[in-house]
Amino acid sequence: MSNPENEEQKQLADKEQLAQDAADKHPAKEMSRRDAVQLLASLPVAAMLSWPSAEHEKVSQYVANALRAAGEGVAYAPKFFTAAEYRTVRILADMIIPKDERSGSATDAGVPEFMDFTMNDRPGMQKWMRDGLAWLDAQSRSRFSKPFADASESQRQGILNDIAWPARAPAGMADGVSFFNRFRDLTSSGFWSSEMGVKDLKYMGNVFAPNWNGCPPEALRKLGVTYAKFDRNKLRLTPDAS
C-alpha cells in the first residue's frame, strides 16, 4: 500500500522539477500564473481530494447554491474561514487563476466556497490552510506593515514570486512554498472541476461524434505509427517502419 505522505512528497518534487524546467525555458520573463497552473495541472493534483462520486456531487451542488444565492444578493457566509481569512483566500485564488479572455476567475467559478466546504469536510487539511494564511499575513506585515489583503497588487506579487517557484525560492521560505503548493493545487482542483473550469478546458467528453476520421496524420508521424499495418486482433497500430 502506498504511503500518502511519500506520494505527496513525490508530487511536490515533480512539481518543483516542472517549475524549474519552465523557468529554464523562460529566462527573460515569468510565465503567467494561469500558464503555470495549467502546466502543473498535468499532474494528478485533483486526486489528492479523492472525492467519491456522491461527495463530488454534494460539493458541486453546494458551490452552485452558494453562487446562485450570491447572484440574488445573499453574500456567502464561510463556515470555516474567518472573515479576514476568507478575504485573503479570495484574493489569492484570483491571483492564481485570474479572469482572462477565455473564462472567469477562480472566485467566479466558486473556488473559495469549494475551499470552505473542503476545510469542513476534510478536517485534516485545516491546519496547513490556517497556518499558511497566517504565514502570508506575517510576511506582509514584516515587509509592508499591513496584512496581505491590504497590501498593493505589486506587494502581493512580490511575496508570491518568492514562493510560487519552489526551485527559485529564497532560503527560509520553505513554509510559504509548501503552503502555496497546496493552495494552488486546491485552487486548480476547485476551478477545473467546476462548470466554468470544464468549459475552460474545452472538454468534449460525453459528446456524440458522428464521424471519426482517425488520428490526424501529424499525430501519427509524431508517434511513429501508421494505419498501413493495423492489427485488427489486438486493435492497435504498428510502428512505422518507413
pLDDT above 70 coverage of the chain, percent:
64
Question: Minimal CA–CA distance to 108: which of 92, 87, 88, 94?
Answer: 94
Per-residue pLDDT band for 141 (boundaries 50, 70, 90) equals very high
Higher-pLDDT residue of 184 and 200 is 184
pTM of the model: 0.68
pLDDT of residue 232: 60
**What's the whole-number average pLDDT of the chain?**
78
Give the burial string for 183-218 (b: 16+ CB within 10 Å, else e): bbbbbbbbbbbbebbeebeeeeeeeeeeeeeeeeee
**What are the domain boundaries of the chain?**
4-201, 208-242
Whether the predicted pLDDT of 52 surpasses 80: no
Q: Which helix (H) or strand (E) holds 237?
A: strand 236-239
CA torsion angle 144 149 153 154 (round to 10): 30
**Would you give the DSSP letter of residue 72?**
T
pLDDT of residue 21: 52
